[in-house]
Protein backbone atom coordinates (compact mmCIF):
# COMPACT_ATOMS: atom_id res chain seq x y z
CA UNK A 1 0.00 0.00 0.00
CA UNK A 2 2.79 2.39 1.00
CA UNK A 3 4.74 1.27 -2.04
CA UNK A 4 1.78 2.15 -4.25
CA UNK A 5 1.42 5.58 -2.68
CA UNK A 6 5.14 6.25 -3.24
CA UNK A 7 4.80 5.12 -6.83
CA UNK A 8 2.01 7.64 -7.29
CA UNK A 9 4.25 10.47 -6.06
CA UNK A 10 6.78 9.58 -8.76
CA UNK A 11 4.19 9.94 -11.54
CA UNK A 12 4.30 13.77 -11.83
CA UNK A 13 8.10 13.58 -12.11
CA UNK A 14 7.86 11.01 -14.90
CA UNK A 15 5.24 13.12 -16.71
CA UNK A 16 7.44 16.21 -16.34
CA UNK A 17 10.47 14.36 -17.69
CA UNK A 18 8.56 13.15 -20.74
CA UNK A 19 7.14 16.62 -21.50
CA UNK A 20 10.58 18.25 -21.21
CA UNK A 21 12.28 15.64 -23.42
CA UNK A 22 9.51 16.14 -25.99
CA UNK A 23 9.93 19.92 -25.91
CA UNK A 24 13.70 19.54 -26.27
CA UNK A 25 13.22 17.46 -29.42
CA UNK A 26 10.98 20.11 -30.90
CA UNK A 27 13.25 22.99 -29.85
CA UNK A 28 15.92 22.11 -32.40
CA UNK A 29 17.30 25.31 -33.91
CA UNK A 30 15.92 26.10 -37.33
CA UNK A 31 13.82 23.59 -39.21
CA UNK A 32 14.00 20.09 -37.68
CA UNK A 33 12.82 18.54 -40.95
CA UNK A 34 15.69 20.15 -42.83
CA UNK A 35 17.99 19.00 -40.06
CA UNK A 36 16.90 15.37 -40.31
CA UNK A 37 16.91 15.46 -44.11
CA UNK A 38 20.59 16.35 -44.22
CA UNK A 39 22.51 19.10 -45.97
CA UNK A 40 22.07 17.95 -49.55
CA UNK A 41 18.28 17.45 -49.37
CA UNK A 42 15.96 19.08 -51.91
CA UNK A 43 12.95 21.16 -50.84
CA UNK A 44 10.66 18.27 -51.76
CA UNK A 45 12.63 15.80 -49.66
CA UNK A 46 12.41 18.16 -46.71
CA UNK A 47 8.63 18.42 -47.14
CA UNK A 48 8.37 14.64 -47.27
CA UNK A 49 10.34 14.25 -44.06
CA UNK A 50 8.30 16.98 -42.43
CA UNK A 51 5.16 15.01 -43.22
CA UNK A 52 6.74 11.65 -42.36
CA UNK A 53 7.90 12.83 -38.94
CA UNK A 54 4.66 14.68 -38.28
CA UNK A 55 6.21 18.15 -37.96
CA UNK A 56 3.36 19.59 -40.09
CA UNK A 57 0.82 18.66 -37.41
CA UNK A 58 -0.08 20.64 -34.30
CA UNK A 59 2.06 20.38 -31.17
CA UNK A 60 -0.49 18.40 -29.07
CA UNK A 61 -0.92 15.87 -31.89
CA UNK A 62 2.85 15.55 -32.16
CA UNK A 63 3.01 14.99 -28.41
CA UNK A 64 0.45 12.15 -28.63
CA UNK A 65 2.51 10.59 -31.43
CA UNK A 66 5.60 10.90 -29.28
CA UNK A 67 3.82 9.18 -26.37
CA UNK A 68 2.62 6.38 -28.67
CA UNK A 69 6.18 5.75 -29.92
CA UNK A 70 7.53 5.83 -26.35
CA UNK A 71 4.92 3.28 -25.25
CA UNK A 72 6.14 1.00 -28.05
CA UNK A 73 9.71 1.46 -26.81
CA UNK A 74 10.65 3.34 -29.97
CA UNK A 75 13.28 6.00 -29.23
CA UNK A 76 14.14 6.56 -32.86
CA UNK A 77 17.12 5.44 -34.90
CA UNK A 78 20.69 6.64 -34.68
CA UNK A 79 21.74 8.39 -37.89
CA UNK A 80 25.41 7.44 -37.58
CA UNK A 81 25.07 3.74 -36.72
CA UNK A 82 21.66 3.03 -38.24
CA UNK A 83 20.67 1.03 -35.14
CA UNK A 84 17.54 1.61 -33.04
CA UNK A 85 18.50 3.82 -30.08
CA UNK A 86 16.71 1.64 -27.52
CA UNK A 87 18.64 -1.53 -28.33
CA UNK A 88 21.97 0.29 -28.31
CA UNK A 89 21.16 1.85 -24.94
CA UNK A 90 20.20 -1.55 -23.53
CA UNK A 91 23.43 -3.12 -24.79
CA UNK A 92 25.53 -0.36 -23.25
CA UNK A 93 23.63 0.19 -20.00
CA UNK A 94 25.27 -2.66 -17.99
CA UNK A 95 28.73 -1.11 -18.50
CA UNK A 96 27.57 2.20 -17.02
CA UNK A 97 25.53 0.54 -14.28
CA UNK A 98 28.42 -1.69 -13.18
CA UNK A 99 30.73 1.33 -12.95
CA UNK A 100 28.22 3.52 -11.09
CA UNK A 101 27.24 0.81 -8.60
CA UNK A 102 30.87 -0.08 -7.84
CA UNK A 103 31.67 3.62 -7.33
CA UNK A 104 28.67 4.10 -5.05
CA UNK A 105 29.55 1.03 -2.97
CA UNK A 106 33.15 2.16 -2.60
CA UNK A 107 32.26 5.71 -1.63
CA UNK A 108 29.64 4.59 0.94
CA UNK A 109 32.14 2.07 2.34
CA UNK A 110 34.65 4.89 2.91
CA UNK A 111 32.35 7.83 3.68
CA UNK A 112 30.26 6.26 6.46
CA UNK A 113 33.16 5.02 8.67
CA UNK A 114 35.08 8.24 8.00
CA UNK A 115 32.13 10.47 8.92
CA UNK A 116 31.25 8.41 12.01
CA UNK A 117 34.83 8.34 13.32
CA UNK A 118 35.25 12.07 12.68
CA UNK A 119 32.04 12.81 14.58
CA UNK A 120 33.10 10.65 17.52
CA UNK A 121 36.45 12.45 17.85
CA UNK A 122 35.89 16.07 16.78
CA UNK A 123 39.17 17.95 16.38
CA UNK A 124 41.27 14.79 16.08
CA UNK A 125 43.46 14.05 13.03
CA UNK A 126 40.75 11.90 11.49
CA UNK A 127 38.34 14.82 11.77
CA UNK A 128 40.84 16.97 9.85
CA UNK A 129 41.24 14.25 7.22
CA UNK A 130 37.46 14.21 6.91
CA UNK A 131 37.29 17.99 6.51
CA UNK A 132 40.02 18.01 3.84
CA UNK A 133 38.38 15.15 1.95
CA UNK A 134 34.97 16.82 1.99
CA UNK A 135 36.25 20.24 0.88
CA UNK A 136 38.69 18.96 -1.74
CA UNK A 137 36.34 16.26 -3.02
CA UNK A 138 33.64 18.68 -4.18
CA UNK A 139 36.21 20.93 -5.85
CA UNK A 140 37.86 18.24 -7.97
CA UNK A 141 36.69 18.17 -11.57
CA UNK A 142 35.94 14.48 -12.02
CA UNK A 143 37.64 14.26 -15.44
CA UNK A 144 40.79 15.83 -13.97
CA UNK A 145 40.95 13.33 -11.07
CA UNK A 146 40.59 10.52 -13.60
CA UNK A 147 43.48 11.80 -15.71
CA UNK A 148 45.68 12.25 -12.63
CA UNK A 149 45.00 8.67 -11.52
CA UNK A 150 45.80 7.40 -15.03
CA UNK A 151 49.08 9.32 -15.05
CA UNK A 152 50.16 8.10 -11.60
CA UNK A 153 48.98 4.48 -11.72
CA UNK A 154 49.33 3.68 -15.43
CA UNK A 155 52.19 5.85 -16.71
CA UNK A 156 54.36 6.32 -13.61
CA UNK A 157 53.73 3.22 -11.50
CA UNK A 158 52.72 0.92 -14.33
CA UNK A 159 50.38 -1.08 -12.09
CA UNK A 160 47.06 -0.14 -13.71
CA UNK A 161 46.03 -1.32 -17.19
CA UNK A 162 45.64 1.16 -20.07
CA UNK A 163 42.46 3.24 -19.72
CA UNK A 164 40.82 1.66 -22.76
CA UNK A 165 37.46 0.14 -21.92
CA UNK A 166 36.19 -2.74 -19.82
CA UNK A 167 38.75 -5.43 -20.73
CA UNK A 168 42.33 -5.50 -21.98
CA UNK A 169 43.15 -6.84 -25.45
CA UNK A 170 43.99 -10.33 -24.16
CA UNK A 171 40.66 -11.12 -22.50
CA UNK A 172 37.35 -11.81 -24.13
CA UNK A 173 34.02 -10.82 -22.57
CA UNK A 174 32.39 -13.50 -20.38
CA UNK A 175 29.17 -15.17 -21.61
CA UNK A 176 26.35 -12.63 -21.38
CA UNK A 177 24.03 -13.10 -18.48
CA UNK A 178 23.65 -9.86 -16.49
CA UNK A 179 26.01 -7.74 -18.59
CA UNK A 180 28.08 -7.01 -15.46
CA UNK A 181 31.50 -8.45 -16.31
CA UNK A 182 32.37 -9.03 -12.65
CA UNK A 183 29.22 -11.10 -12.08
CA UNK A 184 29.25 -12.88 -15.44
CA UNK A 185 32.89 -13.94 -15.22
CA UNK A 186 32.34 -15.35 -11.72
CA UNK A 187 29.27 -17.24 -12.92
CA UNK A 188 31.34 -18.68 -15.76
CA UNK A 189 34.06 -19.58 -13.24
CA UNK A 190 36.59 -17.57 -15.26
CA UNK A 191 38.87 -16.00 -12.68
CA UNK A 192 41.30 -14.61 -15.27
CA UNK A 193 38.57 -12.52 -16.90
CA UNK A 194 37.27 -11.50 -13.47
CA UNK A 195 40.70 -10.20 -12.54
CA UNK A 196 41.08 -8.38 -15.87
CA UNK A 197 37.63 -6.77 -15.55
CA UNK A 198 38.33 -5.76 -11.96
CA UNK A 199 41.67 -4.20 -12.94
CA UNK A 200 39.97 -2.11 -15.63
CA UNK A 201 37.24 -1.08 -13.19
CA UNK A 202 39.51 0.08 -10.37
CA UNK A 203 40.61 3.50 -11.63
CA UNK A 204 37.26 4.73 -13.01
CA UNK A 205 35.53 3.47 -9.86
CA UNK A 206 38.04 5.29 -7.65
CA UNK A 207 37.60 8.47 -9.71
CA UNK A 208 33.86 8.51 -9.25
CA UNK A 209 34.09 7.44 -5.61
CA UNK A 210 36.41 10.35 -4.72
CA UNK A 211 33.87 12.68 -6.30
CA UNK A 212 30.79 11.30 -4.53
CA UNK A 213 32.51 10.67 -1.21
CA UNK A 214 32.57 14.31 -0.16
CA UNK A 215 28.85 15.05 0.26
CA UNK A 216 28.27 11.67 1.95
CA UNK A 217 31.13 12.03 4.46
CA UNK A 218 30.09 15.60 5.22
CA UNK A 219 26.48 14.81 5.96
CA UNK A 220 27.41 11.65 7.91
CA UNK A 221 29.72 13.64 10.16
CA UNK A 222 27.20 16.44 10.68
CA UNK A 223 24.22 14.21 11.42
CA UNK A 224 26.28 11.87 13.61
CA UNK A 225 27.47 14.89 15.62
CA UNK A 226 23.88 16.04 16.07
CA UNK A 227 22.70 12.56 17.05
CA UNK A 228 25.55 11.98 19.52
CA UNK A 229 24.83 15.29 21.22
CA UNK A 230 21.12 14.61 21.68
CA UNK A 231 19.35 13.69 24.87
CA UNK A 232 18.30 10.15 24.02
CA UNK A 233 21.99 9.28 23.56
CA UNK A 234 22.79 10.77 26.95
CA UNK A 235 20.01 8.69 28.45
CA UNK A 236 21.26 5.56 26.69
CA UNK A 237 24.77 6.19 27.96
CA UNK A 238 23.54 6.94 31.47
CA UNK A 239 21.59 3.69 31.47
CA UNK A 240 24.89 1.89 31.03
CA UNK A 241 24.39 0.54 27.52
CA UNK A 242 27.51 -0.71 25.77
CA UNK A 243 29.36 1.94 23.78
CA UNK A 244 29.06 0.06 20.49
CA UNK A 245 25.32 -0.32 20.95
CA UNK A 246 24.87 3.37 21.74
CA UNK A 247 26.87 4.51 18.72
CA UNK A 248 25.87 2.04 16.04
CA UNK A 249 22.31 1.19 16.99
CA UNK A 250 20.97 4.27 18.76
CA UNK A 251 22.90 7.15 17.20
CA UNK A 252 23.64 5.74 13.76
CA UNK A 253 20.12 4.63 12.99
CA UNK A 254 18.93 8.21 13.54
CA UNK A 255 21.92 9.78 11.83
CA UNK A 256 21.58 7.67 8.72
CA UNK A 257 18.30 9.31 7.67
CA UNK A 258 19.84 12.55 6.31
CA UNK A 259 22.52 10.40 4.68
CA UNK A 260 19.85 8.48 2.76
CA UNK A 261 18.27 11.76 1.65
CA UNK A 262 21.67 13.00 0.44
CA UNK A 263 21.99 9.86 -1.67
CA UNK A 264 19.49 11.42 -4.07
CA UNK A 265 21.84 14.33 -4.72
CA UNK A 266 24.80 11.97 -4.91
CA UNK A 267 23.04 9.96 -7.62
CA UNK A 268 22.43 13.15 -9.61
CA UNK A 269 26.17 13.84 -9.40
CA UNK A 270 27.15 10.26 -10.19
CA UNK A 271 24.96 9.92 -13.27
CA UNK A 272 26.42 13.17 -14.65
CA UNK A 273 29.99 12.30 -13.67
CA UNK A 274 29.48 8.96 -15.38
CA UNK A 275 29.53 10.69 -18.77
CA UNK A 276 32.86 12.43 -18.10
CA UNK A 277 34.53 9.37 -16.55
CA UNK A 278 33.43 7.21 -19.46
CA UNK A 279 35.12 9.61 -21.85
CA UNK A 280 38.39 9.59 -19.87
CA UNK A 281 38.53 5.78 -19.63
CA UNK A 282 37.02 5.00 -23.07
CA UNK A 283 34.32 3.11 -21.16
CA UNK A 284 31.72 1.69 -23.59
CA UNK A 285 28.68 2.82 -21.57
CA UNK A 286 25.68 4.99 -22.43
CA UNK A 287 27.57 8.17 -21.54
CA UNK A 288 30.21 7.71 -24.23
CA UNK A 289 27.42 6.70 -26.62
CA UNK A 290 25.77 10.07 -25.97
CA UNK A 291 29.06 11.94 -26.44
CA UNK A 292 29.73 10.24 -29.79
CA UNK A 293 26.21 11.15 -30.89
CA UNK A 294 26.60 14.75 -29.68
CA UNK A 295 29.77 15.22 -31.69
CA UNK A 296 28.15 13.73 -34.79
CA UNK A 297 25.05 15.96 -34.27
CA UNK A 298 23.07 12.74 -34.10
CA UNK A 299 20.00 13.80 -32.23
CA UNK A 300 17.90 10.73 -31.40
CA UNK A 301 20.56 8.97 -29.27
CA UNK A 302 21.11 12.10 -27.18
CA UNK A 303 17.37 12.38 -26.48
CA UNK A 304 17.16 8.68 -25.70
CA UNK A 305 20.10 9.04 -23.35
CA UNK A 306 18.63 12.04 -21.51
CA UNK A 307 15.28 10.27 -21.16
CA UNK A 308 16.91 7.03 -19.92
CA UNK A 309 19.07 8.87 -17.38
CA UNK A 310 16.10 10.89 -16.11
CA UNK A 311 13.94 7.77 -15.77
CA UNK A 312 16.73 5.97 -13.92
CA UNK A 313 17.09 8.97 -11.63
CA UNK A 314 13.35 9.08 -10.88
CA UNK A 315 13.40 5.36 -10.10
CA UNK A 316 16.48 5.73 -7.88
CA UNK A 317 14.79 8.52 -5.94
CA UNK A 318 11.75 6.30 -5.55
CA UNK A 319 13.99 3.53 -4.19
CA UNK A 320 15.58 6.00 -1.79
CA UNK A 321 12.11 6.99 -0.54
CA UNK A 322 11.23 3.37 0.04
CA UNK A 323 14.47 2.66 1.91
CA UNK A 324 13.87 5.76 4.02
CA UNK A 325 10.49 4.35 4.99
CA UNK A 326 12.09 1.03 5.95
CA UNK A 327 14.73 2.65 8.16
CA UNK A 328 12.44 5.21 9.78
CA UNK A 329 9.30 3.62 11.23
CA UNK A 330 7.82 7.09 11.92
CA UNK A 331 7.37 7.64 8.20
CA UNK A 332 5.48 4.36 7.87
CA UNK A 333 3.19 5.21 10.78
CA UNK A 334 2.29 8.66 9.51
CA UNK A 335 1.77 7.49 5.91
Contact 75, 303 (CB under 8 A): yes
| Residue among 193 and 223 whose Cβ is closer to other proteins | 223
Cβ 293 to other proteins shortest distance, Å: 8
Contact 253, 323 (CB under 8 A): no
Cβ 180 to other proteins shortest distance, Å: 21
- Which residues lie near other proteins (CB under 8 A)? 12-14, 16-17, 19-21, 24-25, 27-29, 135-136, 138-144, 147-148, 150-151, 154-155, 162-163, 218, 221-222, 267-269, 271-273, 275-276, 279-280, 290-291, 294-295, 299, 302-303, 305-306, 309-310, 313-314
- Total residue count of the chain as it appears in this document: 335
Largest CA distance in the chain: 86
Q: Which of 209, 207, 175 is nearest to 194 (CA)?
A: 175
Cβ 329 to other proteins shortest distance, Å: 27
Cβ 136 to other proteins shortest distance, Å: 7
Cβ 301 to other proteins shortest distance, Å: 10
| Residue among 112 and 271 whose Cβ is closer to other proteins | 271
Please spell the DSSP secondary structure of 1-50, one letter per residue: -HHHHHHHHHHHHHHHHHHHHHHHHHT-SS-HHHHHH-TT--HHHHHHHH
| Residue among 246 and 286 whose Cβ is closer to other proteins | 286
Upper half-sphere CA count for residue 77 (Cβ side, 13 Å): 6
Cβ 45 to other proteins shortest distance, Å: 23
| Residue among 155 and 232 whose Cβ is closer to other proteins | 155
Q: Where are the beta strands (DSSP E) in 103-205?
A: none
Contact 85, 300 (CB under 8 A): yes
Cβ 162 to other proteins shortest distance, Å: 7
Q: Which of 251, 169, 168, 244 is nearest to 203 (CA)?
A: 168
| Residue among 98 and 298 whose Cβ is closer to other proteins | 298
| Residue among 1 and 59 whose Cβ is closer to other proteins | 59
| Residue among 145 and 193 whose Cβ is closer to other proteins | 145
> CA dist 198 to 44, 99, 183, 246, 284, Å?
54, 10, 11, 37, 15
For residue 28, with 0-12 CB atoms within 10 Å meaning exposed, 13-18 middle and 19 or more buried, which class applies? middle
Cβ 186 to other proteins shortest distance, Å: 30
Q: Which helix (H) or strand (E) holds 70?
A: helix 59-71
Q: Among positive and negative, which fits the CA dihedral 82, 84, 88, 89?
A: positive
| Residue among 24 and 126 whose Cβ is closer to other proteins | 24
Amino acid sequence: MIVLRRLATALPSIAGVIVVTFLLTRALPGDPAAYFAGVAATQQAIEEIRHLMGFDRSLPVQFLDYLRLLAQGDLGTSLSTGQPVLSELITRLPASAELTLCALTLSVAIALPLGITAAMQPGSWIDHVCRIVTTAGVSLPVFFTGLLLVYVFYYLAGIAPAPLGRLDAFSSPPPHWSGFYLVDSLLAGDLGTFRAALAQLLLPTATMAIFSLAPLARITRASMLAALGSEFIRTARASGLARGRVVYVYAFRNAVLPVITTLGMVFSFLLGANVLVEKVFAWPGIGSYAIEALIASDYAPVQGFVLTMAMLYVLLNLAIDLVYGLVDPRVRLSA
